[in-house]
Amino acid sequence: MLVEYKKLLKNKNFYLVFFTLVLIVIIAAFTGVYTHKEEYQLIQKIYEKDENVLSLVSPHKQWVGFSGASNLASSLYYFIFPALISIALVDSIFRERISGNQNYMFLRMSRKKYYTVKFVTTYITAFLFFVLPLFLGIVLVNLLTNQWDYTTYATSYKSLVEGTIILPDNVFAGDIKVLFSDLLIMSPYVYIAFYYVLGGLFASGYICMGLALSMFIKNHYLVIFMPQIIYIACWGLLTVLGKPQWDPFNLINPRQSLEQLSITAIVVTLLLQHFIAFVIYSMGMRRNRDVL
């Protein structure tokens, strides 16, 4: 395990990918804060300092992922993360097989241990790659708007869900989430942390699927792009088939832009994805048994 991390730290793609992800998040945070300021002034002008309305305009809506289509860098992050993360991680087995380093490793440790360590390292690193820049984005938005406490929003949201808040019109009716509304009532932090962890699990699943497929594919370029290809192909096919509620692209989106979302879909898709990744990986292990 330690050896794997030493290898990762010597890989210059590792730093490149991490800084690109952080850069996208920084751009998203700055544009988000700008949008928030404009929106706040506009709402202040329109509703003449109605406190109920103003409490619903909160900077947490500009956290990466929450801001959605209006914030370009945020949607770019959610579109391209499999490709970016896989540049650093997916080809680790592939490169060692091509260069012959794998034979060298098999002399020192058992084959089973080698593959297990690779899988676990890739899984954990992909998860951190997805999640860490996003949490950095939260901190950045909070620093720029100087707001850390979201209890006002949580209480207003609670009364919005219950229908007891007095509002001049129903502009904010779209704010009510279909799923996990309780978490948002508890605190926006809990809600977003849940979604980021969910996204991280999906991201790790994709990257591990790519790692498993790298034992079957001979082309380096294709190996790197496999997670992104699966991600986009799923998105396209499920949209065309009319079942977008089963698509990870929509499931990991904290904005919940679809109406037919359900918890079963999330659980089933996540388990299915990990199961497929695991099966392909063990098939690949068995296939490459006779290296020596």
Partner 1 sequence: MFYKFLKYSIQDIQLKKNLFIMVILFIMTMMLFAIIPSHTMILTRWHSVKDFMLLFRYEYFHLPIFLVLLGTFSETNDWTLLRRYTHRQQIAWQKICLVFTVTAILTLIITLGSTFSTYLVKLLIFPINTNYSALFLYIPESVSEGSLLYFIYMYFSLTAISGLLFIVLQQLLKSNFISTIIIMCVVILDQMTISIVPTFFYKSEFTSPISSFLMLVAIIILLTNYIHYLVNKLDFYVRDDK
Residues of this chain that bind partner 1 (CB under 8 A)? 16, 72, 76, 79-80, 83-84, 87, 95, 98-99, 219-222, 224-225, 228-229, 232-233, 236-237, 239-242, 244
Pick the closer one to partner 1 by CB: 60 or 255: 255
Concatenated DSSP letters of 6-47: HHHHH-HHHHHHHHHHHHHHHHHHHHHHHHHHHHHHHHHHHH
In the complex, least distance from residue 287 CB atom to partner 1, rounded to whole angstroms: 17
Task: Identify which of residues 16 and 271 has a Cβ nearer to partner 1 in the complex.
Answer: 16
Q: What are the start-end ranges of the H helices in the chain?
A: 2-10, 12-47, 51-56, 72-89, 92-99, 101-108, 111-145, 151-162, 181-186, 188-213, 220-241, 248-251, 263-287
CB of 240 to partner 1, least distance (A): 4
Our CB check for partner 1 shows the closer of 25 and 83 to be: 83
In whole angstroms, the minimum distance from the beta carbon of 261 to partner 1 comes to 15
Instruction: State whether the Cα torsion 87-88-89-94 is positive or negative.
Output: positive
Of the pair 54, 229, the CB lying nearest partner 1 is at: 229
Query: Which one, 139 or 237, has the nearer CB to partner 1?
Result: 237
Cα 50 from Cα 59, distance rounded (Å) = 17
> Residue 171 is encoded by which pair of tokens?
């502009």
Spatial separation of the C-alpha atoms in residues 192 and 207, rounded to whole Å: 22
Q: Least distance from C-beta 16 to partner 1, angstroms?
A: 8
CA distance 248 to 261: 11
Closest approach of Cβ 159 to partner 1, in Å?
34
Could you give the angle at which helices 263-287 and 188-213 cross, rounded to 10 degrees? 30
How near is the Cβ of 20 to partner 1 at its closest, in Å? Answer: 8
Specify the residue, 125 or 156, whose C-beta has the smaller distance to partner 1.
Answer: 125
- DSSP label of 246: G
Tokens of 85: 């993360």
User: In 3D, which of 270, 283, 289 has the Cα closest to residue 211?
Assistant: 283
Q: How far is the CB of 156 from partner 1 (least distance, A)?
A: 31
Kindly tell me which of 87 and 105 has the beta carbon lying closer to partner 1: 87
